Amino acid sequence: MGPDPAVAAVRLAVRRVLADLPQGALVLAACSGGADSLALAGALAFEAPRAGHLAAGVTIDHNLQDGSGGRADGVVRTMADLGLDPSGSIAVTVDGPGGPEKAARDARYRALDAAAGRLGAAAVLLGHTQDDQAETVLLGLARGSGARSLSGMPTVFHHPAATGDSEGVRSVRYLRPLLDLDRGTTRRACEAMGLEPWDDPHNVDPAYARVRVRHQALPALEKALGPGVTEALARTAKMLRDDADALDELAAQAYAELEAPEDGYTVAVRLEGLGDLHRAVRTRVMRMAAIKAGSPPGTLAAVHVDAVDRLVTAWHGQRHVDLPGGLRAVRRYGKLLFGPV
């Protein structure tokens, strides 16, 4: 008799991503103790040795609740009991700009980058599910931040991670194997594996935008439009990601062709040819130029890029456009120039 269908589904998802890793690689599961990441850890512990890989686990203690250290210790024991070796916890300090959710996420990824670099992990597995993807799409829609935001979370992405040795800094691959599975599946998998997940009270706190989307917006959409909204949003995200990747590739090619000597500025792009590009490609070129000049991607918004676009397509003698990061864009001598104020 085979495993429970939910267990089989989670294991299959993990098995598929492990197949792309080099033989003997160390794979690190990021486990909060919630149902999604706990099911992921259990599946990795089962699948990694069968695929010829090593499996380790780490949990991040955000120090945001009383008793968080004890809970982290419990997650470490669970991971060790599953066979993830080594298993450990990392305590972080959550602070910084952008609100508590962003600060916690930034602190978490810094810790995971460091752990992956120290252990030499070939990949870090994250337990985000189809439900998380749908929530991310709705949050992006509310921000009005374009196709890239609506494309949700990628299945694969990379962060730099310090190795702590002569290799210096290398890229760590992050994988989200569960994006096609829903939360119900991961919770059933935990029950079938005899794992008891921890339900973070922050996940029901309406002070957080994601919680309001999860418990108010998505249920309202399901009630108004019928079942299947979550799956449809996740499916839309996958299609939009393909489109955004293609447009970004075209924009990168155009940028390489149009980049010019800087004339005392940080970045310069030739106007000849820029205005002929499709707007979807042209605005991406401008965004690339602004970011290369030093404008922070997280605060460089569509309104800024639109204003720069008007220097090209609706030029009426405007002097410049101010950009986040203390930069400005200027039209001069047949070029679009980006540099500090």
In DSSP notation, 156-216 reads: EEEEEEE-SSTT-EEEEEEE-TTTTS-HHHHHHHHHHHT------GGGG-TTSHHHHIIII
- How confident is the model at residue 99, as a pLDDT? 76
Q: From first to last of its 341 residues, what are the pLDDT tens digits of the chain? A: 789 999 999 999 999 999 999 999 999 999 999 999 999 999 999 999 999 999 999 999 988 888 889 999 999 999 999 999 999 999 998 887 767 788 888 899 999 999 999 999 999 999 999 999 999 999 988 876 677 778 899 999 998 765 555 455 578 899 999 999 999 999 999 999 999 999 888 888 888 889 999 999 999 999 999 999 999 999 999 999 999 999 999 999 999 999 998 778 899 999 999 999 999 999 999 999 999 999 998 788 889 999 999 999 999 888 899 999 999 999 998 999 999 98
Q: What is the pTM of this model?
A: 0.85
Locate the domains of the chain by residue range. Answer: 5-233, 259-340
Identify the bridge partners of residue 30 per DSSP, sorted by sequence position: 58
- Contact between 316 and 308 under an 8 Å Cβ cutoff? The reply is no
pLDDT for res 166: 47
Paired tokens of 244: 């955004």
Contact (CB, 8 A) for 332 and 318: no
- CA angle 8/14/19 to nearest 5° reads 120
Fold of the CATH domain 259-340: 3.30.465
pLDDT reported for residue 163: 52
The residue among 159, 113, 153, 117 whose CA lies nearest residue 137 is 153
- What is the model's pLDDT at position 4? 94
- What are the phi and psi torsion angles at 157 (to 5°)? -150, 170
pLDDT for the residue 235: 93
Nearest residue to 284 (alpha-carbon basis) of 255, 323, 315: 255
* Confidence (pLDDT) at 92: 92
Residues 241, 151 contacting (CB under 8 angstroms): yes
Class of domain 5-233 (CATH, top level) = alpha beta
Helix pair 218-225, 229-258: axis angle to 10 deg:
110
Say which residues have a Cβ less than 8 Å from residue 327's Cβ, sequence separation at least 6: 266, 290, 293, 294, 295, 338, 339, 340, 341
Predicted confidence at residue 290, as pLDDT, reads: 96
Distance CA(289)–CA(176), nearest Å, equals 30
Residue 24: what pLDDT?
Answer: 95
- For residue 97, the model assigns a pLDDT of 73
Residues 6+ apart with CB under 8 A from 144: 302
**Predicted local distance difference test score (pLDDT) of residue 309:** 96
Give 198: exposed, middle or buried? Use CB within 10 Å, 0-12, 13-18, 19+: middle
Hey, which bits of the chain come out as E strands?
Answer: 26-30, 54-61, 87-91, 123-125, 156-162, 169-175, 267-270, 321-323, 327-332, 335-340
Count the Cβ atoms, other than its own, within 10 Å of residue 78: 22
Residue with tokens 């495993």: 3
In this predicted structure, what is the pLDDT of residue 161?
A: 63
Q: Helices 5-18 and 183-193 meet at what angle, rounded to 10? A: 100
Which residue reads 């259990």 in tokens?
42
- Here the tokens at position 224 are 């108004």
Torsion of CA 193, 196, 201, 203, to 10 degrees: 0
